Amino acid sequence: MKRISNLIPLLTAIAFFSLLLIASCSKERSSGATPAQEQEASQVSSESDAEADLVFNGVFDNAMGVNNDLGIAGTGVFTGKTDTLVPVPRCFTVTITRASANVLFPAHVVIDFGTAGCPGPDGHLRRGKIIIDYTNRLIIPGASATVTLDGFYVDSVKVQGTLTVTNASANSTRIFKVDVTGAKLTRPNGNYTEWTSHKTITQIEGFNTPDFPRDDVFRIEGNSNGHARRGNLIVGWESGITEPLIKRFTCQWVVKGIIKTVRVNSSATSPWVATLNFGTGGCDDQAIVTINGVAHQITLP
């Protein structure tokens, strides 16, 4: 199963363009804003969307990767880094509860990272609990899982919200619908991101080895929206994948695709729309961010 959580580079990529927040602004940028203010608001919306995507893609991976009874073992915190697949010592516990010993589903799972923090293979420190209720093994058409969070943190960011995964596979094509509702990411300084997301993840390669993820390739499509506070700046946006994202299990980065972010008070043709282009399919750490017609090549971590 593909490690969908490798949108990690987005946050650092957009942060490349970060400007100081303007303390006098207390609401979403609108007409009459200076170019610096416009760019600042566009960057904040792109960065916030990317951060939320990163966190909840990781939650999806963890729900999928618990074991082969529930999904496909070895995604998220249940495996090593994607470039080497070297496992890391586990510092979390997994508790699986069923109605009876002879019935696999429904299944209730708690992944407990403890209160001190548990470093994962992606380098992030997690604490708190991920709670998952499965109706069936997630690779079975019609199966679903509902994920909630209890005191859950990624590094210093408190994460709230509900993620629902539904297997919508048809005609031998593996498809997952992934919906995030009521999401909120809160930083210690009071900055926050509120986020909703609807994505479709379709497997496009690796069909003949259903329990072997290394040859899997996935296409990701969908949209999201949210609001964020950064200091005295509050910004709202809508973000869409305008060219499907392509992810390979064996590559650390997204290899292809474009994400476009439009602020609430802007039009889709505004020069301040932000786009991030991951390239044409090669596995490398390069991407292009464009704002106001200016393209910058960046290196993804």
* pLDDT of 31 higher than 60: no
* pLDDT of 34 higher than 80: yes
Query: For residue range 241-261, what is the model confidence (pLDDT) as tens digits?
Result: 999 999 887 676 778 999 999
| Residue 112: band (very low, low, confident or very high) from pLDDT cuts 50, 70, 90 | very high
pTM: 0.83
Question: Which class for 208: exposed (0-12), middle (13-18), buried (19 or more C-beta within 10 A)?
Answer: exposed
pLDDT at 46: 80
**300 compared with 140, residue with greater pLDDT:** 140
* pLDDT of 214 higher than 60: yes
**240 compared with 82, residue with greater pLDDT:** 240
**Residue (of 247, 168, 170) closest to 206 by Cα position:** 247
Q: Can you give the residue range of the structural domain that contains 120?
A: 8-241
pLDDT at 155: 94
- Indicate the average pLDDT of the chain: 83
Q: How far is residue 167's CA from residue 177's CA, in Å, rounded to a whole number?
A: 6
* 291 in any annotated domain: no
* 298 in any annotated domain: no
* pLDDT of 10 higher than 70: no
Least confident of 43-57, 73-87, 148-162, 284-298: 73-87
* 247 in any annotated domain: no
pLDDT at 22: 30
How open is the CA angle 288-301-211, to the nearest 5 degrees? 100
* 251 in any annotated domain: no
CA 278 to chain centroid: 16
Cis peptide before 9 (omega within 30 of 0): no
Least confident of 131-140, 158-167, 286-295: 286-295
Question: Within a 10 A sphere around the Cβ of 123, how many other Cβ atoms?
Answer: 11
Query: For residue range 125-143, what is the model confidence (pLDDT) as tens digits?
Result: 999 999 999 999 999 999 9
| Residue 82: band (very low, low, confident or very high) from pLDDT cuts 50, 70, 90 | very low
* 141 in any annotated domain: yes
Q: Got the DSSP string for 183-212? A: EEEE-TTS-EEEEEEEEEEEEEE-TT-TT-
Least confident of 30-34, 80-84, 88-92: 80-84
Which residues is 241 bridged to in the sheet?
Answer: 259
* 170 in any annotated domain: yes
pLDDT at 14: 39
* pLDDT of 210 higher than 80: no
* 100 in any annotated domain: yes
Domain count within the chain: 1
- 224 and 51 in contact (C-beta within 8 Å)? no
| Residue 206: band (very low, low, confident or very high) from pLDDT cuts 50, 70, 90 | confident
* 276 in any annotated domain: no
